[in-house]
Amino acid sequence: MLTLSGKTALVTGASRGLGKAIALALGKTGANVAVTDLLVESEKVDKERLAEYSLLAAHFVDTGNVETISTAAAIRKMGVNSLGMKMDITQPDQIQKVVSEIFDQMGGVDILVNNAGVMDNMATMEHQTLKMFERDLNVNLTGAFNCIQAVWPHMKQKKWGRIINISSFVGLRGAFAQPGYGASKAGMIGLTRSLALEGARHGITVNAVLPGFIETEAVKLHDPKMLDRIKERIPSKRMGNPDEVAPLVAFLASDRSSYMTGTAIPVTGGADLFNF
C-alpha cells in the first residue's frame, strides 16, 4: 500500500487546479502538507499591481477559486497536519521564511512539488517583450530552483528527499505564441535531470511530470471553440482531470519510486504523440 505517513510535503501553486489536487492526494496518502500559493483567501491585494505580475492571478482574486487556507483545512480533516501559507516563489527570503515555519511546525520538508507557474503570456514573437519573457523564466524556472535550493540541505542531511517538478509536454513539443512558457518548461526538464545526477548519491530523487491539456480553472478560461479544437486533436478526445495527474505525483513522492530519478513523464491522453 502506498503511504507517505511521517513525511512532510511542500506544494507550490496549490490554491486551485492541479496544485490543489496534488496537495489533497498527498494528504490522503498520509503526508503532512504545506499548501502554498501567491494568493490566500484572507489577504487583500492590489489587483492592478498583481495583474502586472500575472493576469491569471489577478483574475482569480475575486472568483472564489482561491482555496489555499481551505485546502489545508480539508487536509487536516484527513487526520494529518497541514498549513496554508502565502509564498511567492520568486522571493527566496519569503521561501526561506515559509520553510522555517514548516520546520517549526512539521519537522522539515521531505517532499517538494514545484507546481506554481504562469502561462498567461501569449503573443507571437514580434509582440513579445523582454520583460514578459524574463517574467516567465523567473516564475516557472527560477522559482522552482529557488524552492529546491531552500529544501535541498535538509534532504541531503536526512539522505532522503523527493522533488517533483510539474513541467509540461510543451517542454518537449513547443507552445505556439508562448516562447517563454515553452522555454521555461523545457528548462525544468533540464533542471530535473541535472539535479537528479547530483541528488542520487544522497537519496534524493528528482523527477518531472509533463501534463498535457488538463481541465483546470485556468484552462477553462480559453475560448470554448479553441478548447473543442484541442480536444479533437487529442487521441483520447478529451482533456485530462487534475485527479488523473495527482496520483502519479504521490507515487513519485513515495518509497515505491526509489529507483526512478531524472525522468520526465508525460500525462497527456496521447497529445504528445504524432497524429493527423
Q: Could you list the active site residues?
A: 181
Report whether 4 contacts 111 (CB < 8 A). yes
Query: For the chain, how big is the Rg over CA atoms in Å?
Result: 18
In the structure grid, which three cell numbers stand for residue 262, read together?
531524472
Report whether 14 contacts 115 (CB < 8 A). yes
Q: DSSP for 126-192?
A: GG--HHHHHHHHIIIIIHHHHHHHHHHHHHHHHT-EEEEEE--THHHH--TT-HHHHHHHHHHHHHH
Q: How many CA atoms are closer than 13 Å to the CA of 67, on its beta-carbon side?
A: 17
Q: Which of 141, 147, 93, 148 has the alpha carbon at shortest distance from 117?
A: 141
Distance set, CA 132 to CA 177, 180, 248 (Å): 13, 8, 31
Separation of alpha carbons 206 and 149, rounded Å = 13
| Rounded (10°) angle between helices 143-158 and 179-199 | 10
The answer for residues whose C-beta is within 8 angstroms of residue 92's C-beta and 6 or more apart is 146, 149, 150
Distance set, CA 74 to CA 33, 35, 133, 194 (Å): 11, 11, 36, 35
